[in-house]
Amino acid sequence: MREAYIDQLDSIFADLSAIGRQVRTAVSQATTALMTGDAEIAERVISEDAAIDRARERVEEKAFDLLSLQQPVATDLRTLVAALRMVAELERMGDLSVHVAKVARLRVPAVAVPAEVRPTMTRMAEVAEDMVTRVVDVIAERDVEAAIALGRDDEVMDQLRRASFTQLLADDWPHGVEAAVDIALLGRYYERIADHAVSVANRVIFVVTGHKPTAVG
């Protein structure tokens, strides 16, 4: 009985990893749409977000079933509560990818990111995608050390965010208010994806150790 219960808990974490992989694809495709002005790819990201929503619902159903049928305590209860919070974070990361795709779609046939800002924005997108990739591994392996490292590396995203603001607030910014708003929003979307990845990593640390992390994020 206990072995079956543990298998069910493990299956929830496998589902979380799978959702993370869906999010990673969404981030990657949204960035491609943004940098190329490809409306078809943007639409794909937007439409496929429903699959992430459905996957979240399945995880919630599994977790609530275990909560109601098994009445877990201590470590198991901590694991289930953390899983419910993690799946909400992952879904939000998917939503943020949709926001990026919608900015891309809004500016078609133009590209939303001006040429001189593109290196910074491209790097932000790379960092966000890398953090999603790494948090998928953190979930799958329940790797505390990797989770701590992910939180420390979030500073790279913070630095890029500040750099993007410096560019769009410069006195010689030539692209007008609309482009400045786009860049401000896009920077915020990528930054929040990274923040959610760190939050998920923090929850993995809590699941494994029973302690709220102090060295992450």
Over pLDDT 70: what percentage of the chain? 96
**Backbone conformation region of residue 210, classed left if phi is above 0, alpha if psi is from -120 to 50, else beta:** left
The whole-number pLDDT of residue 69 equals: 78
Query: Which ranges of 71-143 does DSSP label H, i.e. alpha helix?
Result: 74-107, 118-141
Q: Convert the pLDDT of each residue in 12-47 to its tens digit.
A: 999 999 999 999 999 999 999 999 999 999 999 999
- Does the pLDDT of residue 216 top 70, yes or no? no
* Cα end-to-end span (Å), the chain: 38
- Four-CA torsion 174, 175, 180, 182, nearest 10 degrees: -160
Q: Does residue 150 form part of some domain? A: yes
Domain count, the chain: 1
The 3-class SS string of 172-195 reads CCCCHHHHHHHHHHHHHHHHHHHH
The C-alpha atoms of residue 188 and residue 194 are separated, in whole angstroms, by: 10
Q: Does residue 217 form part of some domain? A: no
Please give the C-alpha separations between residue 62 and each of 56, 91, 93, 194, in angstroms, as whole numbers: 10, 16, 21, 27
The C-alpha atoms of residue 124 and residue 31 are separated, in whole angstroms, by: 10
Query: Residue 212: pLDDT band by 50, 70, 90 thresholds?
Result: confident
Q: Which residues span the domain enclosing 98?
A: 2-209
Q: Does residue 65 form part of some domain? A: yes
Query: Residue 214: pLDDT band by 50, 70, 90 thresholds?
Result: low
Q: Does residue 181 form part of some domain? A: yes
Please give the C-alpha separations between residue 103 and each of 36, 39, 47, 137, in angstroms, as whole numbers: 12, 10, 15, 29
The whole-number pLDDT of residue 2 equals: 62
Higher pLDDT, 184 or 3: 184
**Amino acid at position 87, single letter:** V
CATH code at position 92: 1.20.58.220
